[in-house]
Amino acid sequence: MQTPVLGFSAFLEGLQAPLTGFEFMGRNPKLWRYGILPVAVNLLLTGLVLLGLIGAGAYFTTVVHPKFSPGFMGWIGEILLIVCLFVLACSLAFAFWMIAQIAACGYFYGKLARQVEKLLGMKDEEIVEIPLLHEITDTLWESLSLLLLNLLFLLIQFVPVVGAVVGVSGSYYFTSLALGREYWDYPLALRGLRRKEKHRFARQHQLHTLGLGTAVMILFLLPIVNAVLLTTAVTGAVLLHRKILASSPDGPAIRDCS
């Protein structure tokens, strides 16, 4: 049994998961046959999201900006609108990305996670299949909840004095948790866990989840690089989940694949 990792170290382990997964796939290059397709799809999805954000920015510059009157009040109003639209656009982009990830990449991510688990010693009879429709339903609920929460925290930002701090902090916290849960889904789904059980696991290992979700959030903002590391984050999530299980008294043994 390994010693449990607690505190900020747990957050760092989650944050490093994409790089840990990348290193593991480098030592086991046959895994890339399951990773190359989601990398290509991620490039396409990232391009679509960027085009959407660029289009929104162009629309604001050409259509909305000229409608503000010159002067201090017009400048303040435009800044406030920019902040609101930016948060809304990012929330919609995250929601679109999460849904597109499970719809377009979920199958390939699942196959990659399965192969990693097999390398780590999981047997075929231990793997539980969850229908893709259930996976999509769970992700839709996650995406809708994330969108509504971000809209709520957007409104909170208008509260004087503390609104900006509470709004930004709350949006970061819940978005990171949602993204972390999304990546926990791959090892947990292979064990037949559904939405409530995944949430319970994320609560029990909140700092790991926040670190993993923060890594995914940062990668979302890094075009091209994210296509590879969002895929290796799946492998990293499987490895981290295994490490957490190994720290429990009845955790499984992990095969050495270095």
pLDDT, position 211: 96
More confident residue, 144 or 240: 240
Residue 131's pLDDT is 66
Task: For the chain, give the mean pLDDT.
Answer: 80
How big is the CA angle at 139 (ends 203 and 168), to the nearest 5 degrees?
60
Question: In the block, which residue shows the tokens 């030592």?
Answer: 27
| CA–CA dist 67, 79 (Å, integer) | 13
Hey, is 38 helix, strand or coil?
A: helix
DSSP codes joined into one string, 203-254? HHTHHHHHHHHHHHHHHHTSTTHHHHHHHHHHHHHHHHHHHHHHTSTTPPP-
Over residues 169-190, the mean pLDDT reads 88
CA nearest to 221, candidates 83, 50, 52: 50
Whether the Cβ atoms of residue 209 and residue 146 lie closer than 8 Å to each other: no
Q: How do residues 135-179 score in pLDDT, each as one tens digit? A: 667 777 777 777 788 778 877 877 877 887 888 888 889 888 988
pLDDT at residue number 253: 44
| Amino acid at the residue 83 | V
Place of tokens 């991620």: 42
Q: Which pLDDT score is estimated for 254?
A: 44
- In this prediction, residue 123 carries a pLDDT of 87
Would you state the structure tokens that stand for residue 110, as one six-digit string? 């699942």
The mean pLDDT value for 188-216 works out to: 89
pLDDT at residue 132 greater than cutoff 70: no
